[in-house]
Amino acid sequence: MAGLFILLSTYEAFAHPGHGDKNVDGNSVWHFVSEPIHIISFGIFVLVFLLVRMVYLKSKRVK
């Protein structure tokens, strides 16, 4: 449910220092791969995806 909320929320609501800075392009690829907040968020997304996939596949094998 929280993931759905995040996906449906506006992008600007989750801006952190560095977004909108004149010296740093907040929408560049480098920004997204170098900022810890983005790396952590992506890691959590991958872990949740793998967990859901594992539970789904396990439930499918039991039936």
Distance, in Å, from the CA atom of 40 to the CA atom of 19, rounded to the nearest integer, reads 17
Per-residue model confidence (pLDDT) at position 55: 93
C-beta separation of 11 from 4 below 8 A? no
Per-residue model confidence (pLDDT) at position 47: 94
Q: Is 20 helix (H, G, I), strand (E, B) or coil?
A: coil
Per-residue model confidence (pLDDT) at position 36: 82
pTM equals 0.59
Query: For 7-63, what is each residue's pLDDT tens digit?
Result: 656 555 566 666 656 666 767 777 778 878 888 888 899 999 999 999 999 998 876
